[in-house]
Amino acid sequence: MVELVLYGYILHFLQGEIMIEHVDVLIVGAGPAGLFLAKELLGISNQTVALVDSGRSIKKRYCPLVNKGNCTQCNICHVVEGVGGAGMYSDGKLSSFPAGSGLVKLLGSEEKVIELNNYVLDPFISKMNNDGIKQTKADESQDSCMIQQATDNKLDWKCYDVYHIGTEGIIEYCIELEEDLVNGGLNLLTQTKLKSVEKKEDIFISTLINRRGEEYQISSSNLVMATGKASGHVLRNIMDKLNVNYSFNEIELGVRVETEREGIVALSETHLDAKIKTKMDDGAEVRTFCMCNGGYLVNCYYDSYVPNEKICTISGFSFRDKKSDNANFGVLVRQSFPDYVDPMGMQLGIIQAINRASGYGGTIVQRYEDFISNRPTSKEGLENNSIQSTLPEATPVNLRWVLPDYVTNHIESFLGKLSGLSNKLITKDTLLHAPVWELCWDKVHVDEHLRTNISGFYVAGDAIGWARGIIQAATTGVVIARDIHTRNKELVKS
């Protein structure tokens, strides 16, 4: 075998044919974790890096639903996949500690998490130059009378620093970052899927499929899976094959609440992204997340969970400069189950049932008054509703037909408490959309450097199963980049 170094990449030759391209680090997933990992690594080392994503580059991502109001169920869902990750079509909120507090358990101290969060946040803030950025500071909101009102209603309100730059801000930053990375030597492979991984001695052999359906292989000394919610069974199968240690996570299922903007004003004036939660008698936790004032709803399609089949969930996003007449936010019920209960398998059956109930493989909706009365919402009832959804294709049904009783009962109780914070927050015409899910990832066992039990194999971002969010995912990317650099220096010395 002959080796040839070309533009920093090692090409292995056998009998005159190129067999495998080799890089020092292969990253799968170009969301915040993958992008910031590549950014940090290229900035501190001379290692070769390739970044793979099944979606398109940032400028080529185009969602017909977001841009024209019509979902065409694209072969690759641009809301979920592509450079920028699912965070590109989010509401563009950047939250720092104590948001993502699960990272403290991994990294060892609050001080380290805060330092890394700020390190990741600074480029965003500098790029935006505070132009159009809205922000809430934790120390300015925690003494609010609204938070005291939440306490009186037996609700806990989590305060943390948050910056709102909108979908436009995320896109603008990611365009510049992608260009800088490619110009800095990153080998960016878009519209490329990871099929399988093998480990031979200290090298990972990854089989990839490009947009033409052609298979080829890349070998790497380090492999980082930063695949986010789109990980599906692909990540689990790879971890099983490599004998990576992980455990099942808790289960989170719920709804997306859509209401009139006026109802959320008091909450958003107190905190831009109010995270309000309560504990139920059975130990379940119910919480709000991702509040979009003047936001929109969008369907998200994933093809990595069920072979030859897509599943659909619902999410919210908001523009910086374009607003709807509605507000939306998620409500999730987090429930622990015995260790033998596979949360991914349990949730998939429920989500598939909801998708079938929609009649088109999508999402469903119900008026709050009908939800409380346990009756399906009719098409006419939805058409005459005072709140018109930003996702008109959602099918009106009865959520209680398809969501587990523990989920619907806890949501009913929680929304009753939440209505005490604002008169127009929860009304008879408020809309409840489903399905919404989180924690659909396994909890990967890692140390404070985010190393797994398999040397050179890392899992980053949401896929690690410990914390979620743009800043939190990017933080894990930075930690892994620094560890790979440190390990490489140690190998060179030895």
Instruction: Measure CA 323 to chain center.
Output: 23
pLDDT on residue 3:
45
Question: Which pTM value belongs to this model?
Answer: 0.92
pLDDT on residue 419:
93
Contact 361, 355 (CB under 8 A): yes
Q: Which residues in the chain land under pLDDT 70?
A: 1-19, 128-132, 138-143, 439
Nearest to 469 by CA among 93, 11, 82, 8: 93
Q: Which residue has the tokens 């910086």?
A: 320
What is the residue type of 183?
Answer: N
pLDDT on residue 92:
80
pLDDT on residue 163:
87
pLDDT on residue 7:
38
Helices 470-493 and 110-128: angle between axes, nearest 10 degrees: 110
pLDDT on residue 439:
67
pLDDT on residue 215:
94
Distance CA 463, CA 444 (A): 8
Tally the C-alpha atoms within 13 A of residue 412's C-alpha that lie toward its C-beta.
17
pLDDT on residue 394:
96
Nearest to 466 by CA among 433, 449, 442: 442
Structure tokens at 84: 């920028």
Nearest to 330 by CA among 387, 291, 371, 383: 291
pLDDT tens, residue by residue, 167-187: 888 888 899 999 999 999 999
pLDDT on residue 9:
45
Domains in the chain and their CATH numbers? 2-130+166-246+443-493 (3.50.50.60), 250-438 (no CATH)
